[in-house]
């Protein structure tokens, strides 16, 4: 069952952007455009997570959060404005689990969401193995030839995407999407650079990589 996330945000562009990233990660998403609509959906829909903006028409995010908390322990991430330090405290006091400061990157929000959901449902685990490489997706942990290797969130997402569909070719665009990198500002080279760094981290001989292969003109593939 996909996780369901409710995004309560009146700025349609941001709501849509956030929803797109969650859906790319396999979530189902719902959007509410004001505080009252958000509260109503929180009460009537089956949800796993709520992303809640503070500045909302009709009912502000703090109040929405407070009312949801009267009878629900559902994980809530608040979106706060950069210059409003007090909002973070008010949000946490109202019962939010975490907050993300605007402007935020999709990767940051998704990482917070994953961490919170992991805490919320305890033991669900996704383990990917490919030859001498092991990825514990839920713990965001990478082990290569028995040794722990520190990967950035982007590197981890790219490697996980390749390993989930090993022996298939993934295009640079598919990898950008998997990594939550916004296509508008980047070039194919961005992925090439991430792959280069990944190979240095996981390949026994990065100069002639065994796992992450380049298919010229097509993209990359993972060989276990
Ligand atoms: Ca807003």
What is the reported pLDDT for 10?
A: 96
More confident residue, 216 or 84: 216
Angle CA 59–7–91, to nearest 5: 55
The two tokens of residue 21 are: 């990233």
pLDDT mean over 158-170: 91
Q: Which CATH number is associated with domain 127-222?
A: 1.10.10.10
Name the nearest CA neighbour of 106 among 127, 77, 134, 128.
77
Distance 23 CA to ligand 1 centre (A): 21
Distance 48 CA to ligand 1 centre (A): 22
| Predicted confidence (pLDDT) at residue 184 exceeds the cutoff of 70 | no
Distance 202 CA to ligand 1 centre (A): 42
Distance 106 CA to ligand 1 centre (A): 17
| Measured distance between the N- and C-terminal CA atoms of the chain, rounded to whole angstroms | 28
Domain 4-121 shares a fold with domain 127-222:
no
Confidence at 183, pLDDT banded by 50, 70, 90: low
Comparing 94-108, 161-175, 186-200, the range with the smallest average pLDDT is 186-200
| Predicted confidence (pLDDT) at residue 78 exceeds the cutoff of 90 | yes
Contact at 8 Å (CB) between 116 and 77? yes
Mean predicted lDDT score pLDDT of the chain: 89
What is the reported pLDDT for 182?
A: 65
Distance 14 CA to ligand 1 centre (A): 9
Distance 214 CA to ligand 1 centre (A): 43
Collect contacts of 172-175 with beta carbons under 8 A, ≥24 apart: 172/219, 172/220, 174/219, 175/219, 175/220
Distance 198 CA to ligand 1 centre (A): 37
What is the reported pLDDT for 213?
A: 95
What is the reported pLDDT for 188?
A: 63
pTM of the predicted model, to two decimals? 0.56
Name the nearest CA neighbour of 75 among 35, 109, 33.
109
Every domain of the chain and the residues it spans: 4-121, 127-222
Confidence at 123, pLDDT banded by 50, 70, 90: very low
Q: Which CATH class is domain 4-121?
A: alpha beta
Alpha carbon 40 to chain centroid distance? 25
């Amino acid at each position: 069952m996909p996780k369901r996330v409710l995004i309560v945000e009146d700025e349609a562009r941001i709501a849509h952007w956030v929803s797109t990233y969650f859906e790319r990660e396999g979530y189902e998403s719902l959007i509410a455009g004001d505080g009252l609509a958000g509260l109503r959906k929180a009460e009537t829909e089956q949800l796993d997570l709520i992303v809640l903006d503070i500045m909302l028409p009709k009912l502000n995010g703090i109040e929405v959060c407070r009312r949801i908390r009267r009878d629900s322990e559902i994980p809530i991430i608040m979106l706060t404005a950069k210059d409003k330090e007090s909002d973070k405290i008010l949000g946490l006091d109202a019962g939010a689990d975490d907050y993300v400061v605007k402007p935020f990157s999709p990767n940051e929000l998704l990482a917070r969401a994953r961490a919170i959901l992991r805490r919320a449902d305890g033991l669900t685990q996704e383990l990917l193995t490919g030859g001498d490489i092991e990825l514990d997706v839920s713990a965001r942990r990478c082990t290569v030839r028995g040794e722990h290797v520190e990967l950035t969130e982007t590197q981890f997402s790219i490697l996980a995407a390749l390993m989930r569909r090993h022996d298939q070719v993934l295009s640079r665009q598919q990898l950008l999407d998997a990594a939550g990198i916004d296509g508008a500002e980047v070039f194919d080279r961005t992925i090439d650079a991430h792959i280069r760094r990944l190979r240095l981290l996981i390949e026994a001989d990065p100069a002639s990589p065994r796992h992450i292969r380049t298919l010229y003109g097509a993209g990359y593939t993972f060989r276990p």
